[in-house]
Structure 1
Amino acid sequence: MRDELKGRRDMGLTRIPGLLFGGDYNPEQWPEEVWREDVRLMAEAGVNLVTVAVFSWSRLEPAPGVYEFGWLDRVLDLLHANGVAVDLATATATPPPWLVREHPEIQPVDAAGTRLEFGSRQGYCPSSPVFRAATVRLARAMAERYREHPALAMWHVSNEYADHTAECFCAESARDFRRWLQARHRSLDGLNAAWGTSCWGQHYTDWTQVEPPRKAPGPVNPAQLLDWRRFSSDALLACFEAERAVLKEVTPDVPVTTNFMSVLRDLDYWKWAECEDVVTDDAYPDPADPRAAVKAALSYDLMRSLKRQPWLLLESAPSAVSWRPVNVPKDPGVMRLHSLQALAHGSDGVMFFQWRQAKYGPEKFHSAMLPHGGTATRRWRETLALGADVRRLAEVAGATTRAEVALLLDWESWWGLEAPESMPSDRLRLHELLLSWYAPLHARGVAVDLAPPGRDLSGYRLVIAPNLYLCTAEHAAALAAFEGRLVVGPFSGVVDAADQVHDGGAPGPLRDLLGVRVEEWRPLPDGVTQELVTTDGTRLLARTWTEWLDAEETEGTDVLARYRGGPLHGRPAVTRRGAATYLSCLPEDPAPLLDDLLTAAGVTGVAGAGLPADVEACRRGRYLFLLNHGAGPATVTLPEPGTDLLTGRALPAGPVTLGPRDAVVLKPRPTTP
């Protein structure tokens, strides 16, 4: 229990007992007579935290330096009087019309040179000094106004960075990019060397010649694109850090967050998480996607891994969203099941967008805890029931997860891998590569962390790098120091930090560790597969990618599988040197290889073997979560006796049947001395 409480203290929300439950609240969209009804219903549902003022800049500062806090004062006072704490946004996610009209240059410019117009949200250039100064002024005014307010539990900076504006190509961004490049490369000679500008006649002789990678006649320099991705992530992070600095100056004891967007390519969340007190996430699994549960679990495990402590699901949808081409609602029981899944993977609460369903605007058809139909609806009944479940699980707060398997994820390698128009194949997508390994681990109830390649990996038994296209000597040294089982996927160790191919070819600095050399990439056309056969006769099919691999002459390298048929017939497909395995292909089903690896590493699932296909098993601290994502009943064997916290039932060890979309949260029975 001591470790569980420590995790909660690290999160910084000890003033709110138990798990958090609530959602975004937009009182400015409603007349004040509705507010009292809102807080009454919040109390009925068990809401203890709401996010307020995310898009309220134009209401809080209707003219430059003119603040109207009265309405927000009344909202916070009312919430506090009714036992609801506040995740208070700095309201800087969308600049107000007066700022845009006085300074139209703060609006973002796309890669084709078009300046985007006001009328949506998050329309700003991250590098604009005018925009940044205005956000800092408002953040300071908010902090000084509410520093002593008893409702204030957490600061929420901006909203979903990179959702609408991940990059800006304006003249101000170009100046900021050049400053960033000068700090990174020190000189033009350094830049020209790193970008390989002798290719295609791109040699620069003055910094003013360097521009963002705007739309060009043909493929853009991939090294320039990689630095642009780094810069764009850093430019947005600088916006966050500028506001955070003010908040920490004025309210040093109030935790600060900004809401992430699950497995998002545009921002290096390892770097961002270092600057947050609490990791929070917005997650919207698609009810129409048969892989929704697996994708959500992967994103939740990433959130837990970013700071290796409990996190918070800050936004999710009670039912349908409003922004997909077809917005499928959640069937009865799915909202509960999705919420329990987040708790199982380390969230210390369940929050939604939003509390009361909007009457107007682009999100008027986005579901809410309190729908258009009010309290005489199934959705409201499910909100009440979920609030009761969250209260029953209060003791889970702060519990941590111990994983023996890690998946490696490096954002810079991701950006390099998916550079457009310059790769052997554009079919290698990192999110899909992660899922190809994560899905069978998830199906076996194996707890998984995600980790950057340079992190100390000593606590794991098995580490899987689905792809490390960009691999440095430091990355290779960290992997070589790892004493457990290691798996490296194809097209790894290809380039260095400047996106330049390693001398001698792939796998570059991993060559001694893996004992192989890649002679040729052989991507497969769509719909074409390549057979391979393991040493025990198991036949597998590879898709998308294969490689001409040399391993025969390398001492100490064993061939675990060979290609069968075609130009690669008889050549190595999967190899092992010591405890390190290399896959030169993408098996359609890696399960046979994975099972051998798990056995060799001594890793088992948290609920033993033989989980039904639609059942998810997660252990969080001492609590075992069993979630049935299927439309029919499923029987699972409990490894120990205990109490189901959701129902209060005492359950013996042995088989237990879960109804469709039902769950058990097992608290083990104390052992007798």
Structure 2
Amino acid sequence: MKYLLTYLLCALIVSATFAQNPKSWFPDNQLTTVGAYYYPEHWDESQWERDLRKMSEMGFEFTHFAEFAWAQLEPEEGIYDFAWLDRAVALADKYGLKVMMCTSTATPPVWLVRKHPEVLKTHEDGTKMDHGSRQHASFSSNFYRSYSLKMIEELAKHYGNDSRIVGWQLDNEPYTNTDYGPDAQRRFREWLKKKYQTIDALNKAWGTNFWSGTYTDFSQINIPKHKQWGMNLYQRLDHGRFCDEETSSFLDDQAKVIRQDSNPEQWITTNYIPYYDARYIGQSKELDFITYTRYMVYGEHPGIGLKGYRVGEYSRIAMANDYFRPLSPLYGVMELQPGQVNWGTIDSQPLPGAVRLWLWHVFAGGSKLTCTYRFRAPIYGYEQYHYGIVGTDGVTPTRGGLEFQQFMDEINTLRAAYTGSAVPSEYLERKTAVLYDPDNTAAISQNKQTRLWDTESHVLKYYKALKSFGAPVDFIRDTMDFSEYPVLVVPAYQQMSLNTTDKLTKYVKAGGNLVMSCRTAHQDEFGHLWQAKHAEPIYDLIGAEIEFFDLLRSYAPDTIVTPEGNFAWTTWGDILNPSTGTESWGTYSGDFYAGKTAVTFHQLGKGTVTYLGADSNAGDLEHSVLQKVYKRLEIDVENYPPGVIVEYRDGFGIAMNYTDKPFEMPVPESKILIGEKTIPTTGVLVWEID
């Protein structure tokens, strides 16, 4: 319970405007709820009742309407037609399905686009998007923002007090709004003026004395050409922040309009793709909670073993769970892959059992709802060949559909066994936070120093090690409370303010245990290098100086030597000079600084600081050092193989196997509710906690 309350406290620090206790929407004993997208406008109305009845019979508890239906909701300017949607809502209610209502702002109708072409996004090269796809309208178009809110207001007036409508989804998979049109240009200048107040403050922040870049008035500033070599890095970074804020503020505007005409029992959310350089995720303060979209098998990730691509990369759901959960009082998954997709690089069939595995993994992280795109497989349009819960005949369940049905049956088993929210004490003792700021990732991407660097891959080396320990992990921001976490990992936190450095120091002196990685605190919060020694503000914190850093060629890796083993590295290495009393846990080998320190450990106040100065090639150094830290701290950890994930929630333990080999989980037979101790590939084991 203390663990769950920590999640809630951290979320409230990030966003304090949630309208209602989320337990009133998703009671604890419900555990989770499952739904499916349905598009009445895609099918003959004579089939609606059959489809919604089938959805209910398979165990789904809600459905999802009107996501891309603006042309049907407003067929002519100012003429609204909700009659067809009313009939669909009535049929859903007839079969016990709650309805999630969606705003259709991802797909404006053609009459709007043709009458007001200025709503279309303009690319950097001056070309415009056109009608016929989605997300082609700009959130920076003043007309588009204002007109779309009129449509949303009408929708909210019609359904805002309808008890059959459980909540609202805004837009669909909103992402960074990048537009080079005239409205975007004006709004960018206004945004800069609001942020900096004076042109002198902007010049200082951007360092415009460099290359004669000085401005004398905000009207001189254009949207930066990102493809033009040498553009001011801080101007580009601010433009990215502006584009993200255009997205988050548009969602906030939608939520405000809905809330004026809806009752508090209806929640408001949106569904994000988990981009870890996206600042808009968690930025909209008017949402009640957030959800994410996740597809696992589409040709990009090999998984584990020869056929692992049919199961997917296990960290994709794990990290999304742990990233989204602390940003919101609760989280859900709005689109979970039901089977084969049509838009990937290689659209393979998932392995039998994979869909059910993903459902359990989403649930294991704490999700309160899961929805799938889509109930019926489409027979026309861009997403032909994309699986649904039922196939193109509209009747026959797909394998993934049957796995959704199995999962929902199994959740009913857990509901019957639910007695509370117990979590093992040893699980809580391993609780770890990762300090993460997407703005840091965006800033590093602009100036990598080596093409071999990848921030997400670097973070995953620490994250995967922590999950192998069986540690519950939260990705947190520097505005949140550090004190509830015995261990705090800070990977590649390049932009770090003195306030954050001071906060970390206080955390350690009070008894916290800090693990910091290379490429941390090189710059202040404005992205400027310190007018001091390299990364000097953290020297007292880490108990060492960073003499310099080095970057190797891919064909010439070197080695870090530790008592636990030798580890190859290539991408980044901070060469350290430990202070008196600081332990050296590893040294460089193979180049002109052979024998210099790569890893340090020292005590500061009641806590400890470990600095891992290199990014290893395989993540084995990160795993070894973290393992040594936890052993030094006398925190017991597990040793799960990569691809085995174990989590606890609501009085249940859940183990999942993404590997290509069976895994034996030491659980008493008498406690097992679902599965067996020997967990096969794609298998799931669920047991009761004492």
Letter of the structure 1 residue corresponding to residue 167 of structure 2: M
Structure 2 counterpart of 1:584: 613
For residue 641 of structure 1, report the CA deviation from its aligned partner.
Answer: 6.5
Letter of the structure 1 residue corresponding to residue 358 of structure 2: H
Matched, 1:509 2:537: yes
Trace 1:482-631 onto structure 2 (pairs within 5 A): 482=507, 483-534=511-562, 536=563, 538-551=565-578, 554-578=579-603, 579-587=608-616, 588=618, 589=620, 590-605=622-637, 609-631=638-660
Quick one: which of 662, 665, 669 aligns to 2:686? 665
Q: Name the CA shift for 1:440/1:357 in 2 (closer, same or farther; >3 Å).
A: same
For residue 573 of structure 1, report the CA deviation from its aligned partner.
Answer: 0.7
Matched, 1:475 2:494: no
Structure 2 counterpart of 1:326: 346
Do the aligned partners of 1:476 and 1:509 also contact (CA within 8 Å) in 2? Answer: yes
Letter of the structure 2 residue corresponding to residue 543 of structure 1: T
For residue 249 of structure 1, report the CA deviation from its aligned partner.
Answer: 1.7
Over the residues paired in the alignment, what is the CA RMSD in angstroms? 2.4
For residue 537 of structure 1, report the CA deviation from its aligned partner.
Answer: 5.7
For residue 9 of structure 1, report the CA deviation from its aligned partner.
Answer: 4.5
For residue 92 of structure 1, report the CA deviation from its aligned partner.
Answer: 1.6
Trace 1:136-535 onto structure 2 (pairs within 5 A): 136-162=149-175, 166-215=177-226, 217-253=228-264, 254-272=266-284, 274-286=285-297, 289-291=301-303, 292-307=313-328, 309-373=329-393, 374-375=395-396, 377-394=398-415, 404-419=431-446, 422-482=447-507, 483-534=511-562
- Secondary structure class of the residue paired with 1:637: coil
- Secondary structure class of the residue paired with 1:418: helix
Letter of the structure 1 residue corresponding to residue 126 of structure 2: G
For residue 383 of structure 1, report the CA deviation from its aligned partner.
Answer: 3.6
Do the aligned partners of 1:321 and 1:367 also contact (CA within 8 Å) in 2? Answer: yes
- Secondary structure class of the residue paired with 1:219: coil
Letter of the structure 1 residue corresponding to residue 549 of structure 2: W
Whole-angstrom CA distance in 2 between matches of 1:3 and 1:398: 14
Do the aligned partners of 1:111 and 1:213 also contact (CA within 8 Å) in 2? Answer: no
Q: Deviations over 1:572-604 (max 9, x none)?
A: 111123211112211231221111112233433
Q: Which runs of 5+ in 1 are unaligned?
A: none
Do the aligned partners of 1:523 and 1:547 also contact (CA within 8 Å) in 2? Answer: no
- Secondary structure class of the residue paired with 1:548: strand
Q: Deviations over 1:196-217 (max 9, x none)?
A: 1111111112212101112554
Letter of the structure 1 residue corresponding to residue 649 of structure 2: R
Matched, 1:82 2:95: yes
Whole-angstrom CA distance in 1 between matches of 2:635 and 2:650: 17
Letter of the structure 1 residue corresponding to residue 576 of structure 2: L
Q: Deviations over 1:606-649 (max 9, x none)?
A: xxx343554221112421001122344321112x66533336xx
Whole-angstrom CA distance in 1 between matches of 2:198 and 2:566: 54
Report % sequence identity: 26
- Secondary structure class of the residue paired with 2:611: strand
Whole-angstrom CA distance in 1 between matches of 2:302 and 2:670: 32
Whole-angstrom CA distance in 2 between matches of 1:480 and 1:598: 20
Whole-angstrom CA distance in 2 between matches of 1:20 and 1:157: 19
Do the aligned partners of 2:338 and 2:401 also contact (CA within 8 Å) in 1? Answer: no
Q: Deviations over 1:515-560 (max 9, x none)?
A: 33333221122233221122x3632222311123333xx3443322
Q: Name the CA shift for 1:508/1:364 in 2 (closer, same or farther; >3 Å).
A: farther
Do the aligned partners of 2:161 and 2:261 also contact (CA within 8 Å) in 1? Answer: no
Structure 1 counterpart of 2:134: 121
Whole-angstrom CA distance in 1 between matches of 2:113 and 2:412: 44
- Secondary structure class of the residue paired with 1:347: coil
Q: Which aligned runs of 4 or more in structure 1 are off by greater than 6 angstroms?
A: 1-8, 395-398
Structure 1 counterpart of 2:42: 29
- Secondary structure class of the residue paired with 1:533: strand
Q: Which runs of 5+ in 2 are unaligned?
A: 9-19, 304-312
Range with greater deviation from structure 2 (481-490 or 525-534): 525-534
Do the aligned partners of 1:185 and 1:191 also contact (CA within 8 Å) in 2? Answer: yes
Quick one: which of 79, 86, 97 aligns to 1:66? 79
Whole-angstrom CA distance in 2 between matches of 1:271 and 1:636: 40
Do the aligned partners of 1:408 and 1:451 also contact (CA within 8 Å) in 2? Answer: yes
Whole-angstrom CA distance in 2 between matches of 1:566 and 1:631: 39
Letter of the structure 1 residue corresponding to residue 544 of structure 2: V
Letter of the structure 1 residue corresponding to residue 458 of structure 2: L
Q: Name the CA shift for 1:504/1:657 in 2 (closer, same or farther; >3 Å).
A: same
Whole-angstrom CA distance in 2 between matches of 1:239 and 1:397: 41
Do the aligned partners of 1:12 and 1:277 also contact (CA within 8 Å) in 2? Answer: no
Do the aligned partners of 1:533 and 1:561 also contact (CA within 8 Å) in 2? Answer: yes
Do the aligned partners of 1:470 and 1:496 also contact (CA within 8 Å) in 2? Answer: yes
Letter of the structure 2 residue corresponding to residue 597 of structure 1: V
Q: Name the CA shift for 1:397/1:521 in 2 (closer, same or farther; >3 Å).
A: farther
Letter of the structure 1 residue corresponding to residue 387 of structure 2: S
Whole-angstrom CA distance in 1 between matches of 2:662 and 2:448: 46
Q: Name the CA shift for 1:124/1:603 in 2 (closer, same or farther; >3 Å).
A: farther
Q: Deviations over 1:127-146 (max 9, x none)?
A: 11111111211111111101
For residue 365 of structure 1, report the CA deviation from its aligned partner.
Answer: 1.5
For residue 569 of structure 1, report the CA deviation from its aligned partner.
Answer: 0.5
Quick one: which of 107, 112, 120 aligns to 2:125? 112
For residue 397 of structure 1, report the CA deviation from its aligned partner.
Answer: 11
For residue 96 of structure 1, report the CA deviation from its aligned partner.
Answer: 1.3
Q: Name the CA shift for 1:68/1:593 in 2 (closer, same or farther; >3 Å).
A: same
Do the aligned partners of 1:295 and 1:435 also contact (CA within 8 Å) in 2? Answer: no
Do the aligned partners of 1:557 and 1:576 also contact (CA within 8 Å) in 2? Answer: yes
Q: Deviations over 1:263-308 (max 9, x none)?
A: 4423342423x4321221111123652441122211111121212x
Whole-angstrom CA distance in 1 between matches of 2:108 and 2:229: 35
For residue 180 of structure 1, report the CA deviation from its aligned partner.
Answer: 0.8
Q: Deviations over 1:407-466 (max 9, x none)?
A: 1110121111111xx442243222111111111222232211111133211011111111
Letter of the structure 1 residue corresponding to residue 450 of structure 2: S
For residue 344 of structure 1, report the CA deviation from its aligned partner.
Answer: 0.5
Q: Name the CA shift for 1:584/1:383 in 2 (closer, same or farther; >3 Å).
A: closer
For residue 18 of structure 1, report the CA deviation from its aligned partner.
Answer: 4.7
Whole-angstrom CA distance in 1 between matches of 2:228 and 2:108: 34
Letter of the structure 2 residue corresponding to residue 381 of structure 1: L
Do the aligned partners of 1:22 and 1:48 also contact (CA within 8 Å) in 2? Answer: yes
Do the aligned partners of 1:424 and 1:521 also contact (CA within 8 Å) in 2? Answer: no
Letter of the structure 1 residue corresponding to residue 240 of structure 2: R
For residue 61 of structure 1, report the CA deviation from its aligned partner.
Answer: 0.7
